[in-house]
Amino acid sequence: MKIEHKTRENVRCLIIGSGPAGYTAAIYASRANLDPVLYEGIQPGGQLTSTNEVENFPGYPEGISGFDLMADLKKQALRFGTDIRIGTATQADFSAAPYKVIIDREKTIIADTVIICTGAAAKYLGLPDEQKYAGMGVSACATCDGFFYRKKKVAVVGGGDTACEEALYLASLAEKVYMIVRKPFFRASKVLQDRVFKTSNIEILFEHNTLGLFGEHGVEGARLIKRKGESDEEEVEIAIDGFFLAIGHTPSSTVFKEWLDTDEAGYIITEPGTSKTKIPGVFAAGDVADPIYRQAITAAASGCKAAVDAERYLLENGI
Positions marked active-site? 141, 144-145
Give me the amino acid identity at 215: G
Q: Report the C-alpha gap between 93 and 265 in whole angstroms.
A: 22
Do 261 and 277 touch, CB atoms closer than 8 A? yes
Q: In Å, how far are 86, 94, 218, 234 from 37, measured between CA atoms?
A: 11, 18, 40, 55
Q: Report the C-alpha gap between 51 and 68 in whole angstroms.
A: 10
CB within 8 Å of 255: residues ≥ 6 apart: 89, 90, 91, 92, 118
3-state helix, strand, coil in the chain (%, to 5): 30, 30, 45
CB within 8 Å of 31: residues ≥ 6 apart: 80
3-class state of residue 236 by DSSP: strand
Do 164 and 177 touch, CB atoms closer than 8 A? no
Q: Report the C-alpha gap between 22 and 44 in whole angstroms.
A: 10
Q: What is residue 54's DSSP assignment? A: B
Q: Report the C-alpha gap between 32 and 16 in whole angstroms.
A: 18
Handedness of CA 298, 302, 303, 304 (dihedral sign): positive
Q: Report the C-alpha gap between 197 and 194 in whole angstroms.
A: 5
Instruction: Give the chain's count of helices (H) and strands (E).
Output: 7, 17
3-class state of residue 122 by DSSP: strand
